[in-house]
């Protein structure tokens, strides 16, 4: 069974900390995505990557960065965590151009910044 694994289900961090959220997929997918989900705002795309060492900004990249050194791993970095980054973070991957394939999502990381 194909999988997208997010390293933590729940995470509590302090304001100003540097936070790493890790995502690993075992499907050899080219494309990987980071979304955040907030009530009333839906899922919003933060960053995505179509290839190793390649990244593109999504709709809300401010305050975040990403790293994709290997095909299977896509990391989301909060350079200096703030309380408004408290959210559910979802990683997803897809094959090929992504146009004719569905996304496979991880189980999510619920991050609380205090």
Partner 1 sequence: SQQGEEDPQALSIQEGENATMNCSYKTSINNLQWYRQNSGRGLVHLILIRSNEREKHSGRLRVTLDTSKKSSSLLITASRAADTASYFCAAVIGKSTFGDGTTLTVKP
Can you give the binding site for partner 1, defined by CB under 8 A?
4, 33, 35, 39-43, 45, 48, 58-59, 88, 90, 92, 97-108, 110
- Quote the least distance from Cβ 58 to partner 1, whole Å: 8
CB of 22 to partner 1, least distance (A): 15
Q: Mind giving me the DSSP string for 23-43?
A: EEESS--SEEEEEEEETTTEE
Residue closer to partner 1 by CB (options 9, 18) is 9
Instruction: Specify the residue, 41 or 114, whose C-beta has the smaller distance to partner 1.
Output: 41
**At CA 27, angle to CA 22 and CA 30, rounded to 5?**
75
Classify the C-alpha dihedral 49-50-52-56 as positive or negative.
Answer: negative
Bridge partners, 105 (sequence order): 92
Q: Using the minimum distance from each CB to partner 1, give the nearer residue, 3 or 18.
A: 3
């Amino acid at each position: 069974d194909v999988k997208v694994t997010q390293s933590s289900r729940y995470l509590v961090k302090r304001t100003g900390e540097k936070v790493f959220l890790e995502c690993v997929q075992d499907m050899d997918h080219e494309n990987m995505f980071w979304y955040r989900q907030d009530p009333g705002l839906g899922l919003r795309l933060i960053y995505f990557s179509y290839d190793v060492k390649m990244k593109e900004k999504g709709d809300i990249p401010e305050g975040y960065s990403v790293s994709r050194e290997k095909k299977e791993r896509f990391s989301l970095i909060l350079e200096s965590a703030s309380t408004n980054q408290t959210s559910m973070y979802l990683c997803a991957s897809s094959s090929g151009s992504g146009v004719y394939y569905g996304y496979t999502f991880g189980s999510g990381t619920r991050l609380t910044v205090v």
